[in-house]
Amino acid sequence: MNGRKTKRNPESDNINKEFEGKIPPSVEDIEFQVLGAILIDNDILNDILPLLRNEYFYRYAHRVIFEAMTQLSNRNEPIDAATLKEELQRMDKLKDAGGVEYIIDLISNISSSANAVQHARIILEKYLLRKLISVSGNIITKCFDKTSNPFNLLDEAEREILDVSDMLAKKKPVSVENEIENFIKTLQERRQNRDTISGVPTGFFKLDELTSGFQKSELIIIAGRPSHGKTALALNIARNAAVKYKKNIAFFSLEMANRELFVRLLSAEAMVNGQRLKNGRVSNEEWARVAKTYPNLKTNIFIDDSSELTILELRAKARRMKQEFKIDMIIVDYLQLLHAQGNFERRDLEVAYVSRSLKALAKELDIPVVACAQLNRGIEQRGKERKPLLSDLRESGAIEQDADVVMFIHRPVLTVKADKDNPEYIENLLKAELIVGKQRNGPIGDVELIFKNEYAKFENKIEHPVIELPSTYDEEGTPF
């Protein structure tokens, strides 16, 4: 291999400055062999491209040569000494690549393309080590900065380390010219399979029809007043997605302990009164239903019931769960209970930060994030109808701005007195509406559902539901 001096990777120069006297991990001789192997056998580039990018090479000349090779390949042109020289001249980088003599060295010193893929993996490994050194050096520098917020720095450090681990899957800007053909094929497949849900299905047919399921990178808000069924709906969606559609769901419960959630899941699954199930007062027949149906819930719902959870802690846990369990969706119950590290002049500014962070998490993990949210009390001053609006979102208009989908739970029965002799109460007992008040990438509208109070269970609407009166009554008709 020719010993002429060429420019190195600028990033590597920074590493040298940060760790003076130490040689960054590199394999320049193996880089040389991989480039020579491509000149001998152009087809080997197809096996190497999934592993390597220009910046993975330590020597700057090698980065430039590999870039020229990939451009020739993209145009389906042969890669040899002559074409490579012309391409480097066109790029005005022939000198950076070491000149014609270096290209001749690549060909004359390599006799085989064998083991080129294994060599490419070694180059990748050394790049990962250099990247880790660079990230670590940056973190160390910030740790010595007295103005650094340690909690923000911890979150940043974790994110950057995880970025190194999954950089091969990290999204890059795409060219419309290159990708439009593939997207047309995707649309054609959807047209041929019109009943297919593109996102994570909720199990509620009209809602899935309106939204095509909960989509990747979207923040979905389920909003309602206390005791209107936010947790119940979130659990029902988690159950449907996991049991019916085999999705992996992360459920962060900041208000209820996991045992309380288990009671709700079992009550809805077995159709057994939740209050009696919790108190151990179920009949033999009801217990038999529990015993028969609970195996349905042996599925991939991962519950974290940490209270006083900060948004930084939630993001850290979510990243780990994504890596370990390949989760398809995150559910947070509920948004206003999440806290943000640092000092905020007003509560609405803190909620706005949490909201933006949840949206950023959805984009980072490329999965839908569903968050329950409280509505303010203004809705109760609107008279009998009390249908919620976007302006009712409590404490921050940023939630409306950040969310891709906002849906409200409306139960008309909660506007009348809970009395079994009141015809209006009986008529509205099972009625529930999901009002989709915002959908950034689709239509808005109302979805009619049935809510069975005793089981905290939402169901798809049927024509003539059987009305069962709850065994207990309180102000809002809720047995839980």
Closest CA to 32 of 53, 11, 2, 75: 2
Q: Residue length, the chain?
A: 480
Active site amino acids: 255
**Cα angle 9, 11, 16; round to 5:** 95
Contacts for 443 with CB less than 8 Å, ≥ 6 apart: 210, 436
Q: How far is 154 from 136, CA to CA, in rounded Å?
A: 12
Q: How far is 72 from 74, CA to CA, in rounded Å?
A: 5
How far from chain centre, in Å, is Cα 387?
31
Q: How far is 365 from 62, CA to CA, in rounded Å?
A: 33
| DSSP helix/strand/coil, 295 | helix
Q: Which two tokens stand for residue 342?
A: 């640092």
Q: How many CB atoms neighbour CB 92 within 10 A?
A: 8
Q: Which two tokens stand for residue 221?
A: 């808000």
Amino acid residing at 295: P
Place of tokens 């208009």: 397
The neighbouring-strand residues paired with 439 are 405
